[in-house]
Amino acid sequence: MNIGFIGLGVMGKPMANHLIDAGHKLYSCTNISDIHPDLLAKGLHVCATPSEVASQSEIIITMLPDTHDVEKVLVGDNGVLMDIKPGKVIIDMSSISPAETKSFAYQANEAGCEYLDAPVSGGQTGAESASLTIMVGGNQQTFNQIKPVFEVFGKNITLVGDIGSGQICKISNQIIVALNIEAVAEALLFASKAGADPSKVRDALMGGFASSRVLEVHAEKMIQRQFKAGFRVDLHRKDLKLALNAAQELGISLPSTATAMQLFNSCAAQDEGGSQDHSSMIKALELAANHQLNS
């Protein structure tokens, strides 16, 4: 198929690479993100604008940092929805506002196009290994049509519900991940301050009920103090802001999510806006405890 892919960053680049390897013809544009020479060498076609990408493509995928980026690409000047022909499918795989997602879907439907919101989980590793979890909002018929495309770079692919449900599921995912990071960081910090080897504690806990992917992957990063970004603090802050804003609109309290947000804010204040991996949340807890892991 002819597929437009807009947003070739840490996640988008390997996803696009898998699509090319699967035989799809890909189009992108340089005014949104840089295009890696490897993709150009594989035959990725470069367009001037998102609108031009849409004109060449049957399916248009966006993989962008935030809501305003998706808005710019879809409905801004020379955006995807400018003069788009009916019958195309737009898939937003970014993590953005559920309310704005519904607005974008409405505008796509008004133009005679289908729309899916399909955020992902699994990080850079999942994108590179084609094992992403994909949480989809939209109608069943469009989901069935697009699922073979999702299977090129994803493993666990679920139609959660109507438009916006994918984003709601992703926000829920980010709440769980953030609170798991906080729990693991607190436990390791407690163990270290109490005189136990946090590495040995991690090994022991991996065989029990406390075992998790966060304990497996992020605890190791904390112990080794390897905070090169797999998923940046600033992006997780963005997702928790979506959660807290939605919670306020719903009239519910998310107290632990709010605490995790403040810890990420502390990390961002220490680290030039939050460019390190979200496992670096432990730095905020170390500051509060006046104790560094492994010290």
Question: Among all residues, which ones are annotated catalytic?
Answer: 170
Helix (H) / strand (E) containing 271: none
Measure CA of the first residue to CA of the last residue in the chain; give whole Å: 55
How far is Cα 128 from Cα 178, in angstroms, rounded to an integer? 22
Distances (CA, A) of 67 to 30, 239, 242: 19, 11, 10
Dihedral class, residue 25 (left if φ above 0, else alpha if ψ from -120 to 50, else beta): beta
How far is Cα 241 from Cα 255, in angstroms, rounded to an integer? 13
Q: Which residues contact 232 (CB under 8 A, 6 or more apart)?
A: 274, 275, 276, 277, 278
Give the distance from CA 235 to its chain's centroid: 8
How far is Cα 226 from Cα 99, in angstroms, rounded to an integer? 36
